[in-house]
């Protein structure tokens, strides 16, 4: 079966971003960008499905600026067969991204779509669920285990207080949690080979999707900084402070 | 106009996060209607009806909602919103709310605002992003605002002297897209992490799962919940529903004691709104000390038993 994986180019997870002085957004100039960690897990899962003989083709798609081709090449180096970039320079809402992905799903007709559960820049945790709604497919979000059998996929989901397993009719949408797998690294020969794999570039217009947003970010601020604390010398002093100064125990 | 709040419940127990979301729903100064979907959920409906701010409870009790499969519940919520005059649809930003509301929003063709921490007006909201390193004020022009609410940013609603009316809905959406197979809950007699007043958390420095017993003994003395960093979960020390952080649970207790936790961005995103933060770490340069109110540079294997003894 064909598996479609969506990946996003985001600020590297180790970078602590700064809010711009004019409160218009965060400063992304000269900041290291990477593939969103949850998307890496999504690619890895697709590659494992292919290694098991379940998946026959892996198509990786990204929606974003021209530079997102770097992340698509990374996914190709990890084992995806071909890539699609839906090029858009503007910042899109999850709904717009889901609509663009829906258009790609219509075109590619995958049996399984794997996305990360959330992007570490917007922290929205919406796109997979929205894509499932638009395609009218079942959704297995926050997946820690994915097992395809026949026309169904059993997805074990991380939920508050434990785990839950649901069986979805294929085609279906799955979003990855951290526990799903440990992504591999791309080897140098595979990075070289990935340069020759096909990468198609599309536009929202070509897909017939309007990306107009009903949401406007009015301003972006830095959160209130915590006032500097003190270092205590002993456990006794700590307990005394918690009891008498902070009054929390 | 009215606000529709989705109640969360499991195994005949109302999830307390619903009460925090109720406080947020009541901010809009219009009627608040609470939807309870499930099988034999009558008791839950009667319970939520007794809280301040609830004007009406809608109960959808049908086999289709027995396991609260998200596809069926989303279809139900969408039908309710398209046939009534709701201005806002709210749910707590829990695994349940996060799974459900984006599906509802897309079915309604509106954007969703996740993890709202402040309601400025009926259309303007504040939410954190970039792991809590920035706060965005967002203005929504959608006809229906679909919001998930960060529970730690709103107090829980209180019991009311009166009880709201409970109305049964004769709606059953069976999409047939998914089927519940099984559930596996970690058994814990402790207070739930997200509503604990005190949390004792361990990181990679704990060294092993067995050593978490040290933290549990301190937690017993304080009536606290026990949490963990992603490093501790990834190392297999504890189960991942104990994880505090950007990708785990967001907490804001009165007191957060971080033991053997370096303080990575990802972890801080889940706990930096705690009232008092204590860090116990042997590395005096650990980033956690930059946000801790009280820091103790010490070997946790000496400090934690000493702390337990001092609390006796």
Tell me how many degrees the CA angle A133-A137-A138 measures, rounded to the nearest 5: 100
The per-residue pLDDT for A162 is: 87
How far is B242 from B236, CA to CA, in rounded Å? 12
Angle between helices A94-108 and B95-108 (to 10 degrees): 70
Distance from CA of B124 to the nearest CA of A (A): 9
Rg (chain A; Cα; Å) = 21
Residues on chain B touching A123 (C-beta within 8 angstroms): 114-115, 128-131, 246
Q: Is the pLDDT of residue B271 over 90?
A: yes
ipTM of the complex: 0.96
How many other β-carbons are positioned within 10 Å of the β-carbon of residue B179?
Answer: 15
CB of A160 within 8 Å of a chain B CB? The answer is yes
Q: Which residue has the higher pLDDT, B222 or A225?
A: B222
3-state DSSP assignment of residue A102: helix
Amino acid A161: pLDDT? 84
Banded pLDDT at A220 (limits 50, 70, 90): very high
Nearest CA in chain A to B234: A179
Q: How confident is the model at residue A183 (pLDDT cuts 50, 70, 90)?
A: very high
B74 to chain A: which residues are within 8 Å by CB?
Answer: 133
Contact state of B106 with A137 under an 8 Å Cβ cutoff? no
Q: Which residue of A has its CA nearest to B274?
A: A226
Write down the pLDDT at residue B191. 86
Sequence-distant (6+) residues with CB within 8 A of B302 are none
Residue A196 pLDDT greater than 90, yes or no: yes
Nearest to A229 among B74, B105, B294 (CB): B294
Output the pLDDT for position A133: 98
- Model confidence band, residue A111 (pLDDT cutoffs 50, 70, 90): very high
3-state secondary structure of A192: helix
Beta strands in A120-229 (DSSP E): 138-149, 152-159, 162-169, 172-176, 199-202, 215-221
Is residue A228 classed as helix, strand or coil in its secondary structure?
coil
pLDDT at B40: 84
Q: Which of A38, A124, A132 sits opposite B103 (nearest CB)?
A: A132
Could you give the CA distance from residue A206 to residue A227 in angstroms, rounded to a whole number? 52
Among candidate residues B60, B58, B110, B108, the one with its CA nearest the CA of residue B82: B108
Nearest CB to B181; choose among A137, A167, A242 = A167
Give, for B154, the enclosing helix (H) or strand (E): none
Spatial distance between the Cα atoms of A60 and A7, rounded to a whole number of angstroms: 7
Which position has the higher pLDDT, A227 or B92? B92
Rounded Cα–Cα distance for residues A141 and A4 (Å): 16
The mean predicted confidence, pLDDT, of chain B is: 95
Of chain A residues 85-104, which have a CB less than 8 A from chain B?
A: 93-95, 98
C-alpha angle A46-A52-A53 in degrees, rounded to nearest 5: 90
| DSSP-derived 3-state class of residue A30 | coil
In angstroms, the CA B87 to CA B27 distance is: 13
Q: Quickly state the pLDDT bin for B39 (edges 50, 70, 90).
A: confident
Give, in order, the Cα–Cα distances in Å from A243 to each of A147, A248, B278, B281, B311. 52, 6, 13, 21, 10
The alpha helices in chain B, defined as continuous H runs, are 17-26, 42-48, 70-83, 95-108, 212-222, 230-234, 265-271, 300-311
Please state, in angstroms and rounded to a whole number, the distance separating the CA atoms of residues B307 and B218.
7
Flag whether pLDDT at A60 surpasses 90: yes
Q: Answer whether A214 sits within 8 Å of B140, measured CB to CB.
A: yes
| pLDDT value of residue A223 | 94
| pLDDT of res. A227 | 81
Percent over 70 (pLDDT), chain B: 100
pLDDT digits (tens, 9 = 90+) for B51-81: 999 999 999 999 999 989 999 999 999 999 9
Nearest CA to B152 among B184, B191, B197, B188? B197
Q: Give dist(CA A52, CA B192) in Å, integer.
A: 39
Judge if the upstream peptide bond of residue A171 is cis by omega within 30 degrees of 0.
yes
Please report which confidence band the pLDDT of residue A234 belongs to, taking 50, 70 and 90 as the band edges.
Answer: very high
- Residue of B11, B95, B116 to mutate when probing chain A, most A C-beta within 10 A: B95
For residue B278, give the chain A residue with the closest CA. Answer: A238
Beta carbons of B180 and A166 less than 8 Å apart: yes
**pLDDT of B240:** 85
pLDDT at B190 over 90: no
Is A134 in the B-facing interface, judged by CB distances under 8 Å?
yes
Decide if pLDDT at B188 tops 90: no
Q: Do A231 and B295 touch (CB under 8 A)?
A: yes
Give the per-residue pLDDT at A77. 98
Compare all CA atoms of chain A with the CA of B279 and give the residue at the minimum distance: A231
């Amino acid at each position: 079966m064909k598996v479609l994986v969506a990946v996003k180019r985001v600020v590297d997870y180790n970078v602590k971003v700064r809010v711009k002085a004019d409160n218009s957004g965060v400063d992304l100039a000269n900041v290291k960008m990477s593939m969103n960690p949850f998307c890496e897990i999504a690619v890895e899962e697709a590659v494992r499905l292919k290694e098991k003989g379940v998946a026959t083709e892996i198509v990786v798609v990204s929606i974003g600026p021209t530079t997102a081709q770097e992340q698509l090449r990374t996914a190709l180096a990890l084992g995806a067969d071909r890539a699609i970039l839906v090029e858009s320079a503007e910042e899109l809402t999850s709904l717009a991204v889901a609509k663009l992905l829906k258009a790609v799903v219509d075109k590619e007709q995958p049996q399984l779509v794997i996305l990360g559960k959330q992007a570490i820049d917007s922290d929205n945790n919406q796109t997979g669920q929205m894509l499932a709604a638009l395609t009218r497919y079942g959704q297995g979000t926050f997946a820690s285990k994915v097992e395809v059998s026949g026309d169904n996929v059993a997805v074990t989901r991380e939920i508050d207080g434990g785990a839950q397993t649901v069986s979805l009719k294929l085609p279906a949408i799955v979003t990855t949690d951290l526990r799903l797998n440990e992504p591999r690294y791309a080897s140098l020969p595979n990075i070289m080979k990935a340069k020759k794999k096909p990468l198609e570039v599309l536009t929202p217009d070509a897909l017939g999707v309007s990306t107009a947003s009903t949401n406007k970010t009015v301003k972006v601020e830095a959160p209130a900084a915590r006032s500097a604390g003190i270092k205590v010398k002993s456990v006794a002093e700590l307990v005394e402070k918690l009891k008498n100064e902070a009054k929390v125990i | 106009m009215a606000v529709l709040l989705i109640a969360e419940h499991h195994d005949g127990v109302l999830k307390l996060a619903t009460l925090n979301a109720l406080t947020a729903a009541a901010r809009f100064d219009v009627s608040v209607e609470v939807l309870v979907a499930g099988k034999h959920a009558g008791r839950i409906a009667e319970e939520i009806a007794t809280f301040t701010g609830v004007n009406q409870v809608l109960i959808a009790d049908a086999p289709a909602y027995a396991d609260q499969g998200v596809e069926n519940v989303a279809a139900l919520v969408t039908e309710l919103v398209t046939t009534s005059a709701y201005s806002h649809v709210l749910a707590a930003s829990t695994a349940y709310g996060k799974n459900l509301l984006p599906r509802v929003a897309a079915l309604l063709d509106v954007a969703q605002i996740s993890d709202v921490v402040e309601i400025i007006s009926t259309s303007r909201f504040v939410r954190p992003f970039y792991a809590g390193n920035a706060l965005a004020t967002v203005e929504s022009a959608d006809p229906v605002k679909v919001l998930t609410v960060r529970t730690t940013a709103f107090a829980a609603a209180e019991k009311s002297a009166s009880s709201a009316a409970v109305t049964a809905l004769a709606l059953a959406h069976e999409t047939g897209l998914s089927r519940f197979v099984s559930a596996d809950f970690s058994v814990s007699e402790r207070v739930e992490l997200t509503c604990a007043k005190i949390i004792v958390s361990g990181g990679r420095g704990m060294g092993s799962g067995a050593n978490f017993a040290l933290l549990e003994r301190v937690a017993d003395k304080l009536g606290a919940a026990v949490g963990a960093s992603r490093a501790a979960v990834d190392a297999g020390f504890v189960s991942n529903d104990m994880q505090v952080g950007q990708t785990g649970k967001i907490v804001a207790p009165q007191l957060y004691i971080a033991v053997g936790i370096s303080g990575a961005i990802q972890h801080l995103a889940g706990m930096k709104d705690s009232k008092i933060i204590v860090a116990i770490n042997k590395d005096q340069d650990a980033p956690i000390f930059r946000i801790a109110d009280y820091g103790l540079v010490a070997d946790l294997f000496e400090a934690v038993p000493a702390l337990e003894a001092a609390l006796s």
